[in-house]
Every structure is written in structure tokens, then in C-alpha cells.
Structure 1
């Protein structure tokens, strides 16, 4: 979900300069742009690219999450090891980030380009809890 709209996270393999391949979560696309033929050709990366991103701990599956269907290329939760075995790459998932820009997000959604999350790091802060504990 993104702004109340149903869609998908686009995860693609990225071949690095050293020859290794990793997975990159490029961001969200709307359900109506899920097939490449429905996207603007400029939405599909070609040639050499640079990815700026973060290594994040993957989301955990809960009791309501359906089972992944790797044989169909459908993953309902990001099982990095399972995705890597399907693609034949290292079990590393980098989340591509982008600046929070509403107009850029609209442009990307229209073209079928994935919309990445902002590069924010949320550290756990239990200071208030500690005050009451002690």
C-alpha cells in the first residue's frame, strides 16, 4: 500500500562491478503498472546505474500473510534467502531510497517507475520508559 493504493514492491537483481549480484528493492508501483508493457519505457533501467540505499531488517511474516509463491515470482513478504535462491544471487537486499518529493512521486507513479522510501533511520528510544523504571 502507498497512500491508500494497492500495489507492489519491485525487487530486482543488480549486478555489481565486482561481478557479484544482489537484490535491490526499487520501491512501490501501483497494481495497474505491474507489467512492464504498461510502463513508460524510461521507467525501466538500462546500462550502468548507481543505487543509493539502505540495508534494513526485512519485515516479518505475520499470521495473516499468505505463503510466498517463488515459482510464480510472487513474494508476499521479503524472504531474502528465498528470493536470492530463485534469482541465483547473494542473499543481500538493499532498499533503494529517494528524497521525499510529492511531485516526483506523482511523476514516477504515472510512468510506472518505483517510488522509494525516504532514507530515514528510526532508532529505538526508550528513555521515557527508563525514567519510570528507575
Structure 2
């Protein structure tokens, strides 16, 4: 005779206290996510204002009348930003010590030519005279551009880098005179110049033409990416979407 089996009804409903805990945790997570998204959007707006001010400052510096090298040096010593400051300086190029920085210009591969400009006080200022194509690296192929005698250079002051900008950037090859990042100390050392006799920043020459057309001056790049508004709208949009989704979920639950 079969033994009757007593059926047991299992109450799968969540206890009220546990349900409240889960709802509270969900609300906290949603609020935390919303706060993070809004914070990221606000940070990008702050970056936007900073970038716009920087672009305006650079434009103002570029259009300002050039100042003397002594003025730029005083600003640099005082900790002021000298980047893109218009400067005028005179001296004699030491073409035998020019250094080559790997670069591209208008789709062509080549080098920026950094040449020490020997100043009246015996110091040297490395001037980025401009671009030469890869096949024109050897000075014997562009002797017309090796200006002799005293010259006056108009250009923009550029600060030196204290370290390699990224691990993806190759190491400089001083022996082959090929530099991938602007290490002023290494350039000076490889050119046989004492570090204490070198001006502690660079100067990018303007577009004034050189004899023979090389180097091509005026290669300073001003293309500063400014996508912060787009990023801010993205973060704010995600925050708004989170509010809509959460509200719809609450509505459906009720």
C-alpha cells in the first residue's frame, strides 16, 4: 500500500526586511553611478574651459610682438609659461653641430633640423630651423641653406622636456644623430656642448625662407585637440539615460 506523501508548500517570496535591503542597495548604486557620471561630465566641462583659455593664450602669444631672449629667460627663471612666446634673437649658426629630430611634414617623412645658434655671450640656443626630407638629412645635399655669418631669428620659444613623453616613443639614437623626443641635454651632449653653456629651452624659427628652400621653417604645430564638450555631453547623456531607465523600472514594479 503506497505511503501518502505529504506535500509541502514552499514560500518563495522574499522576506520584507530583505526586500527593503535589496531596494535600498539598488537605490544607493543608482545614485552613486549617477553622481559619478555627472562628476565626469562636469570635469570635462572644466577641461573645456581650460583648453579654450589655453588656445586663446597661445593665439595671443603668437600674435604679440617678439621679445628679447633675455626677457624669455627671465620669465622661464621665474617659473612662467614661455611656450609659444614670440622671441627675436641674433647669433651665428654652428651648422656642424646640427641635430636631427625625426618628423613628418605635409605627408613627407624627414627631420626637423635643430642647429645651435651661438650667442654673443658664448652660449648656444638650439633653433628648430625647420623640416628637411629624409633624403636631405646629409648637409652636403643642402649647402645653400647653411647660412653663414650673423643672423637674426624670429620664432617661438618652446620649453624642453624633462622626460620621454611616452613609453611608445623610441629611445633617441644620439650616435646616428636621430632624436625621437626633444631631449635638450642629450642633443647638447651629443653635439659636444656643455649643458651649462646651452640656453635651457628651444626656439622654433618662423616661416622666413632659407636659401635653397631648405630647411622649411615655420613647422610649429598648434593643433590642440578639443573634444571635451563632446565627452561632457556623453557623460551627461549617460546620466540622463540612467535616470530614465531607473524611473521606468520603478514604474513597472509598482
Q: TM-score, normalised by structure 2?
A: 0.40
| 2:121 pairs with 1:18 | yes
- Which SS does the other structure have where 1:81 is aligned? helix
Measured in 1, the distance between the counterparts of 2:121 and 2:152 equals 14
Partner of 1:46: 148
Provide the residue aligned with 1:85 in structure 2. 189
Higher relative contact order (CA 8 A, sep 6+): 1
Give the Cα separation in 2 of the matches to 1:94 and 1:51.
9
Which has more radius of gyration?
2
The alignment status of 1:97 with 2:206, answered yes or no, reads: yes
Cα distance, 1:65 vs. partner? 1.6
1:36 Cα deviation from its structure 2 partner: 1.4
> For residues 138 and 224 of structure 2, what CA distance do their matches in structure 1 show?
36
Kindly report which structure 2 residues correspond to 1:1-134, keeping only aligned pairs within 5 A, or say none. 1-39=104-142, 41-58=143-160, 61-87=165-191, 88=193, 89-90=197-198, 91-98=200-207, 111=212, 113-117=214-218
Q: Hey, what's the Cα distance between the residues in 1 that align with 2:170 and 2:224?
A: 29
Instruction: Give the helix-richer structure, 1 or 2.
Output: 2
Q: For the Cα contact (< 8 Å) 2:159–2:201, is it kept in 1?
A: no
Structure 1 residues 112, 34: CA separation in 2 closer, same or farther (over 3 Å shift)? Answer: farther
After TM superposition, where is structure 1 displaced by more than 4 Å over at least 4 residues in a row? Answer: 118-125
| Distance of 1:26 and 1:77 partners within structure 2 | 16
List runs of 5+ in structure 2 lacking aligned partners. 1-103, 234-254
- For structure 1, which runs of at least 5 residues remain unmatched after alignment? none
Output the CA distance in 1 between the equivalents of 2:168 and 2:223.
Answer: 25
In 2, are the aligned partners of 1:56 and 1:95 still within 8 Å (CA)? yes
The C-alpha deviation readout for 1:87-109, integer Å capped at 9, x for no partner, is 3141331111226xxxx6xxx6x
Q: How does the TM-score come out when normalised to structure 1?
A: 0.71
The number of equivalent residue pairs is: 121
